[in-house]
Chain A
Amino acid sequence: MSITNRTDGTETTEPFELIGSDGRAGATGASGPAGAGTTGPQAAARTRRRTTPKPGERGTTGKMLGYLGILVTVAVIMVPLYFIVITSLKTRPDIYSDPITWWPNPLAPENYLYVQQEVAFLSYLRNSMIITGILVVVKVTLGVLTAYALAYLRFPGRNVIFILVIASLMVPNQITVISNYALVASLGWRNTFQGIILPLAGVAFGTFLMRNHFLSLPREIREAALMDGAGFGRTLFRVILPMSWPTVVAFTLITIVNEWNEYLWPFLMSDGAEVAPLPVGLTFLQNNEGLTNWGPVMAGTVLASLPILIVFLILQKQMIKGLTAGAVKG
């Protein structure tokens, strides 16, 4: 317990600040006892680094160049986004004007209404929530359970199973879709939620992430719980999981983003608004309106992106922690 607290205790207000140390803790699988040990020197190194200017940081010229870089970065990201948002609020003649009008005149919020009335946007939103919701619950559960077995239990074939789980990360979806499509279609499961969800439900990355985290926890803690006569359920929920929430949250967030944005498989599985998630719905919208009615298409794009952007803005630190774990080696 104390170790979790200590790791959490080093968090700062800046969301990106700690991903280095946090990420490595998850990746090396050695942060258990080491976790407490590494935070100290690392924090010290960081403060030391702060006080000494780094190359490029010294002098006003460096600073000026830095702010110029920031200006360019912000422009490259924000100008297209701004253009997309104002286009979603423009009337048709305003969209097809040359040169571009930088402010909608008149304002046309009706594009957003049109998206709901003509293309059942809310159905796609509901489908996305159902598919993502079920997949997140299933994947996080399966990932935690598989990782628990791989990290703590002794059973024949453990290494082979671990390798099979990891190796499945290398098999691109695009290669399995043909056979999976034939299988799911033969079951009559096209245009059903189970047809979309089941083939996506196996967990490889999350299992890897959780297993590494479990291995980083001190062994004695679980052994002590077992000595006290705690069964599997108690050990998992009372001892292991309370020490693992940051990793579980990171795993959950990455799964939310991945499943929310999943495209190829649901695109092949669905023909209409009954089961198709938002990204597929956008494709239908684009097909229907073609290149002739960009206002509603842009409104749909903005609406489809907003939920995940909001989740990101609130929980970016935890999300980034999951992404950097396993990537950055110390």
Chain B
Amino acid sequence: MLSPRTSGDLSEVVVPRRRPYAWREVGLAAALVLPNLILLALFTYRPLLDNIRLSFYHWNISSPRRTFIGFANYLEWFTARDTGTVVLNTLIFTVAAVLGSMVLGLALALLLDQKLFGRGAVRSMVFAPFVISGAAIGVAFQFVFDPTFGLIKDLLERIGIASPNFYQVPGWALFMVTVTYIWKNVGYVFVIYLAALQGRRAELDEAAEIDGTSAVRTFFRVVLPQLRPTTFFLSVTVLLNSLQVFDIINVMTRGGPLGTGTTTMVYQVYQETFVNSRAGYGAAVATIMFLVVLAITLVQVRLQDRQD
């Protein structure tokens, strides 16, 4: 092994273990890293850039011919009548999914952190839907929400309420999709919050209790601040995940009713590209979506730095 060199150079001081690369080590590293790196380059980074290029074309995905049209796809999207609906759907779905699963997930974690009989089984139960495929849950929940023979309709009728038409009224269809998404994914938020609760310093609770602080006050003054890093991590993760939902929407509503009732940006990318054969336009929507994801990530990194 080479011994670390020292010199007056400042960079050498910052990185004290600097030594020349050993070619055998570099060769081994290349062999270990390259297969994965090539796959990521070919199927993640190449299409990411290619997507931007494609967004400047008029193009039917199944034909080799495409026409350069500059920013026309973007112009069209920003002026299209559907765009407002699609953006609003995306916003409503995302905000509702994030708030819903965060609040419920935290409540469940607090509940099942208590010493209650049977909590182990209930914990598994809460997490189980998260491992089932969104497609399967979407298909099944379509019938759960069936306005004439479904479970929800039956339960509502018992308390004297007529079931909304989840299939045909856009707002209710979006509600159905959102509830299904939260039902499936709340287990993830729950598990992460529970881990954070189990790992935090409980001494502070005791101190608060000795001071005679009420449970509610303790929660807001002691517990919630301690969970802040977890809350931050989860809100970004759940936000990015819910922005990308495709399976549940595809099997439950196909983006409808009335054409765009539950169409989110991701679903629009699919529909324009593969159903309406307008791949260039789809690529433009995908690029806009990527910019949104990028912006969220950059904000996250910035805030994270400040927090640390």
Using CB atoms and an 8 Å cutoff, list the residues of chain A in contact with chain B: 14-21, 23-24, 42, 45-46, 48-50, 52, 54-57, 62-63, 66-67, 69-70, 73-74, 76-80, 83-84, 87, 95-100, 142-143, 145-146, 148-150, 153-156, 158, 161, 164-165, 168, 170-183, 185, 198-204, 207, 232, 257, 260-261, 263-264, 267-268, 278-280, 282-283, 286, 291, 294, 297-298, 300-301, 304-305, 308-309, 311-313, 316, 319-320, 323-324, 327-330
Residues in chain A near residue B274, CB distance under 8 A: 181, 268
Expressed in whole angstroms, the Cα–Cα distance for A204 and B127 within the complex equals 24
B22–A154 contact, CB under 8 A? yes
Expressed in whole angstroms, the Cα–Cα distance for A311 and B116 within the complex equals 26
A180–B29 contact, CB under 8 A? no
B25–A155 contact, CB under 8 A? yes
Q: Of B43, B229, B270, which one neighbours A329 at CB under 8 angstroms?
A: B229
Which residue of chain B has its CB nearest to the CB of A48?
A: B202
**B 226-245 contacts with A by CB, 8 A:** 229-230, 233-234, 237, 240, 243-244
Residues in chain A near residue B28, CB distance under 8 A: 149, 153, 232
Expressed in whole angstroms, the Cα–Cα distance for A150 and B197 within the complex equals 32
Q: Of A168, A171, A329, which one neighbours B230 at CB under 8 angstroms?
A: A329
Interface stretch of the complex, out of B32-40, B75-83, B85-93: B32-40
Q: Chain A interface mostly helix, strand, loop or mixed? A: helix
B202–A175 contact, CB under 8 A? no
A261–B33 contact, CB under 8 A? no
Can you name 10 A-B pairs with beta carbons within 8 Å? A19-B198, A56-B215, A77-B126, A96-B149, A99-B154, A178-B282, A291-B146, A297-B139, A301-B140, A327-B192
A172–B244 contact, CB under 8 A? yes
Cβ contacts B8-28/A at 8 Å (1 or 0 each):
000000000001011001101
Which residue of chain A has its CB nearest to the CB of B252?
A: A286
Given A19-B194, A199-B42, A257-B131, 10 more pairs with CB closer than 8 A: A56-B110, A73-B125, A145-B35, A149-B29, A156-B21, A171-B48, A174-B244, A174-B270, A279-B136, A309-B132
Q: Chain B interface mostly helix, strand, loop or mixed? A: helix
Shortest Cβ distance from residue A29 to the other chain B in the assembled complex, whole angstroms: 14
**B 209-266 contacts with A by CB, 8 A:** 209, 214-215, 218-219, 229-230, 233-234, 237, 240, 243-244, 246-247, 250-251, 266
Expressed in whole angstroms, the Cα–Cα distance for A282 and B143 within the complex equals 14
Residues in chain B near residue A50, CB distance under 8 A: 115
Q: If the complex has contacts A73-B108, A320-B191, A329-B229, are A100 and B151 also in contact, measured as CB distance less than 8 A?
A: yes
Using CB atoms and an 8 Å cutoff, list the residues of chain B in contact with chain A: 19, 21-22, 25-26, 28-30, 32-33, 35-37, 39-40, 42-48, 50-51, 54, 61-62, 107-108, 110-120, 122-129, 131-136, 139-144, 146, 148-149, 151, 154, 157, 183, 188, 191-192, 194-203, 205-206, 208-209, 214-215, 218-219, 229-230, 233-234, 237, 240, 243-244, 246-247, 250-251, 266, 269-270, 273-274, 279, 282-283, 286-287, 289-290, 293-294, 297
Residues in chain A near residue B126, CB distance under 8 A: 73, 77
A73–B202 contact, CB under 8 A? no
Residues in chain A near residue B143, CB distance under 8 A: 84, 87, 294, 297-298
Residues in chain A near residue B111, CB distance under 8 A: 66, 69-70, 73
Expressed in whole angstroms, the Cα–Cα distance for A168 and B38 within the complex equals 12
Residues in chain B near residue A280, CB distance under 8 A: 135
A260–B191 contact, CB under 8 A? no
A55–B219 contact, CB under 8 A? yes
Residues in chain B near residue A54, CB distance under 8 A: 113-114, 202, 205
Shortest Cβ distance from residue B1 to the other chain A in the assembled complex, whole angstroms: 8
A207–B36 contact, CB under 8 A? yes
Residues in chain B near residue A182, CB distance under 8 A: 61, 279
